């Protein structure tokens, strides 16, 4: 009756134990297999404090676990307070509290999996609820049998079969009296809708619906894999950012060339990444439904400048780009003006850019710009600005399709009302019939210092969980990985040792040469040790593949790779890291240890390097 899904010999399993029939049957079946499979069993009970019988349920669970010799941990949660604080319903607050408790217990006990007692009828209820709410294909797949470290061994077993098993074995369980009421939507589905379907449509309606989810899940997995590839093809590096979070931009012609099923999923993925750059799945799409994505796709066929609001998100069409911003629409940027000296780097906090004029240029009106010049400044636009005697700056923006909401944030090199250079995608100005460009570089923020810090914390948790108390040697790939290594090492356990290796395939360019050079070797004896190679970025995979084989050849016990950044679209060798901070688009990035010709390493964030000549 219990499916042996994802349970291996020697696993540590935390059982979600409410005391009801499903969870008691699950624990009973695992206890029966404990010795033959060498399982380490634990139980977690969450007292929601919602019912008068809650104390009795807790006492029943304690006695049951004592009788079966299963370690138990009880969590008491004020669900009403959680619902009010999180601005969610009581059902959702209870669900969040339970899974948080399960995860805490799993980490404290060092277990491998969390087992819940969801059954076939629960799955059918979920499918119908999602259908009524307007869910897409993934929602109609119901409850997955395996989700990360969560397993549901009874998902193919009906509630009736579970209760029959308990009765046959003489195993007691508690009954939640609130399940008989119809205050909650799931109870109404359980007590009214499913019985009516069984009576009037098909006696096995619940079983048929639940089994159909297997087929739907296969289709959903295929479409989502295709959508990830399509997203990588359509996504662009953002030209703008808001509050340190770059916008997600989708190329509209490429989007519209996709089959309709993929368009929806690409837009959905863009919305998720804009709201939560480091999260995946349903957590990043809370409160965003099919009707929202449909409204977003309508923008792709509408005029430039239109936008729609989604929960925690704004989507706007900007010419051939469909842009997704976290939060509300941006207000007009307040102006700025900074004195400018050619050859001297200038950081502009309002636009999070480091601007450097790296050469000289001959201007028809202003002579050689590599020398100091009175009145030369970097500023935003003002009324009356002109780029030549015959052309207004406003006309230039219109002709070059610069979105209106961005015009107040574009940096301009100016003397008085005369604009010498526009720091946008063009960087080319016509004055008195002559064309010239001002050479320079800009760095546009891609990942803020706060985003990096947040991801470092979660990476350290993953690594600490995987290695436990085992000592590890961190081998840093010089020189770009030093900043990453230093911040990561401080968050790991105390049993870490540092060493270094220098490998590179870039030199002073912006693209890999394909030839890996190694000119610094580890000083420690790595034989028989667990090694974690710390890399700054994975591009084509040449360097990573070389380093991994190099370390493996030193007869280490194990080798894993941890990389701050990954460019999957650039991969030429089929190799991947065990831990990745961020997946980024195909752009040359600098900052936080990454350099261009040994410059920009000290920036506290990661940015996209752009050349203006």
What are the beta bridge partners of residue 473?
497, 531
**Kind plus residue range of the DSSP H or E element containing 269:** helix 260-275
What are the beta bridge partners of residue 151?
115, 146
Which two three-digit tokens encode residue 435?
Answer: 């064309």
Distance in angstroms (rounded) separating the CA atoms of residues 521 and 224: 42
Task: Indicate the DSSP class of residue 560.
Answer: E
Q: Per the residue annotation, which of 539, 566, 582, 595 is the catalytic one?
A: 539
Distance in angstroms (rounded) separating the CA atoms of residues 205 and 212: 11
Largest interatomic CA distance in the chain:
97
Answer yes or no: are the C-beta atoms of 546 and 516 closer than 8 Å: yes
Answer yes or no: are the C-beta atoms of 186 and 176 closer than 8 Å: no
Is the four-CA dihedral 411, 413, 415, 419 of positive or negative sign? negative
Count Cα atoms within 13 angstroms, Cβ side, for 463.
34
Cα–Cα nearest to 272, from 263, 261, 259, 282: 282
Q: Per the residue annotation, which of 385, 536, 566, 595 is the catalytic one?
A: 536
- Examine the residue annotation and report whether 11 is marked as an active-site residue of this protein: no
Distance in angstroms (rounded) separating the CA atoms of residues 55 and 62: 11
Distance in angstroms (rounded) separating the CA atoms of residues 447 and 104: 29
SS3 content of the chain, % helix, strand, coil (to 5): 35, 25, 40
Cβ of 111: how many Cβ atoms within 10 Å?
A: 21
Answer yes or no: are the C-beta atoms of 353 and 347 closer than 8 Å: yes
Cα–Cα nearest to 400, from 344, 463, 334, 318: 318
- Examine the residue annotation and report whether 108 is marked as an active-site residue of this protein: no
- Examine the residue annotation and report whether 500 is marked as an active-site residue of this protein: no
* Cα→Cα distances 137→127, 216, 267, Å: 10, 7, 15
Instruction: Using CB atoms within 10 Å of the CB of residue 556, give its burial: 0 to 12 exposed, 13 to 18 middle, 19+ buried.
Output: middle
- Examine the residue annotation and report whether 224 is marked as an active-site residue of this protein: no
- Examine the residue annotation and report whether 588 is marked as an active-site residue of this protein: yes
Answer yes or no: are the C-beta atoms of 145 and 45 closer than 8 Å: no
Cα–Cα nearest to 311, from 292, 290, 291: 292
Cα–Cα nearest to 13, from 154, 104, 112: 112
Q: Per the residue annotation, which of 42, 173, 484, 588 is the catalytic one?
A: 588
Radius of gyration of the chain (CA): 29
Distance in angstroms (rounded) separating the CA atoms of residues 238 and 445: 9
Q: Per the residue annotation, which of 535, 566, 582, 595 is the catalytic one?
A: 535
Q: Per the residue annotation, which of 96, 211, 570, 601 is the catalytic one?
A: 601
Cα–Cα nearest to 384, from 397, 394, 374, 396: 394
Distance in angstroms (rounded) separating the CA atoms of residues 480 and 600: 11
Distance in angstroms (rounded) separating the CA atoms of residues 65 and 551: 47
Distance in angstroms (rounded) separating the CA atoms of residues 385 and 71: 74
User: Where in the sequence numbering do the catalytic residues fall?
Assistant: 535-536, 539, 588, 601
């Amino acid at each position: 009756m219990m499916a042996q899904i994802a349970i291996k010999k020697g696993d540590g399993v935390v059982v979600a134990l409410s005391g009801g029939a499903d969870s008691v049957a699950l624990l009973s079946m695992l206890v029966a297999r404990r010795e033959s499979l060498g399982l380490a069993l634990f139980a977690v009970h969450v007292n929601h404090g919602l019912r008068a019988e809650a104390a009795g349920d807790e006492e029943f669970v304690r006695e049951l676990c004592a009788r079966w010799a299963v370690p138990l941990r009880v969590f008491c949660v004020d669900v009403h307070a959680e619902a009010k604080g999180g601005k969610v319903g009581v059902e959702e607050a209870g669900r969040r509290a339970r899974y948080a408790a399960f995860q805490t217990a799993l980490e404290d006990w060092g277990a491998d999996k969390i087992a819940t007692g969801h059954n076939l009828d629960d799955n059918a209820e979920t499918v119908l609820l999602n259908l009524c709410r307007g869910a897409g294909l993934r929602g109609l797949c119901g409850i997955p049998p395996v989700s990360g470290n969560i397993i549901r061994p009874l998902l193919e077993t009906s509630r009736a079969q579970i209760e029959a098993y308990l009765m046959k074995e003489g195993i007691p369980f508690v009954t939640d009296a609130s399940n008989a009421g119809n205050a909650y939507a799931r109870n109404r589905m359980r007590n009214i809708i499913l019985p009516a379907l069984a009576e009037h449509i098909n006696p096995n309606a619940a079983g048929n619906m639940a089994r159909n989810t297997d087929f739907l899940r296969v289709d959903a997995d295929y479409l989502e894999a295709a959508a990830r590839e399509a997203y990588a093809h359509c996504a662009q590096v953002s030209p703008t950012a808001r509050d340190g979070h770059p916008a997600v931009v989708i190329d509209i012609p490429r989007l519209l060339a996709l089959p309709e099923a993929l368009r929806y999923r690409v837009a959905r993925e863009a919305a998720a990444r804009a709201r939560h750059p480091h999260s995946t799945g349903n957590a990043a799409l809370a409160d965003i439904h099919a009707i929202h994505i449909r409204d977003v796709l309508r923008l792709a066929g509408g005029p430039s400048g239109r936008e729609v609001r989604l929960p925690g998100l704004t989507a706007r069409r900007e010419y051939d780009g469909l842009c997704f911003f976290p939060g509300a629409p941006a207000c007009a940027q307040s102006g700025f003006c900074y004195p400018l000296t050619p050859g001297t780097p200038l950081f502009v906090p309002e636009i999070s850019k480091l601007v450097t004029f790296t050469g000289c240029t001959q201007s028809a009106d202003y002579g050689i710009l590599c020398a100091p010049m009175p009145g030369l400044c970097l500023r935003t636009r003002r009324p009356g600005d002109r780029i030549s005697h015959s052309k207004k700056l406003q006309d230039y923006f219109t002709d070059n399709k610069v979105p209106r909401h961005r015009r107040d944030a574009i940096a301009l090199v100016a003397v008085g009302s005369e604009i010498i250079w526009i720091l946008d995608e063009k960087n080319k100005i016509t004055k008195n019939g002559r064309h010239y460009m001002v050479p320079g570089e800009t760095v546009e923020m891609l990942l803020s210092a706060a985003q990096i810090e947040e991801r470092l914390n979660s990476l350290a948790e993953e690594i600490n969980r995987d290695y436990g108390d085992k000592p590890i040697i961190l081998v840093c790939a010089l020189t770009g990985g030093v900043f990453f290594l230093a911040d990561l090492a401080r968050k790991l356990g105390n049993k870490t040792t540092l060493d270094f290796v220098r490998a590179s395939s870039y030199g002073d360019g912006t693209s890999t040469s394909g030839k890996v050079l190694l000119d610094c070797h580890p000083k420690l004896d790595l034989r028989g040790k667990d090694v974690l190679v710390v890399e700054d970025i994975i591009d084509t995979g040449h360097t990573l593949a070389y380093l991994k084989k190099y370390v493996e050849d030193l007869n280490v016990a194990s080798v894993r790779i941890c990389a701050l950044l990954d460019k999957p679209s650039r991969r030429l060798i089929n190799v991947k890291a065990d831990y990745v901070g961020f997946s980024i688009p195909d752009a040359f990035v600098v900052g936080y240890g990454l350099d261009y010709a040994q410059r920009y390493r000290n920036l506290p964030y990661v940015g996209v390097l752009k050349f203006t000549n």
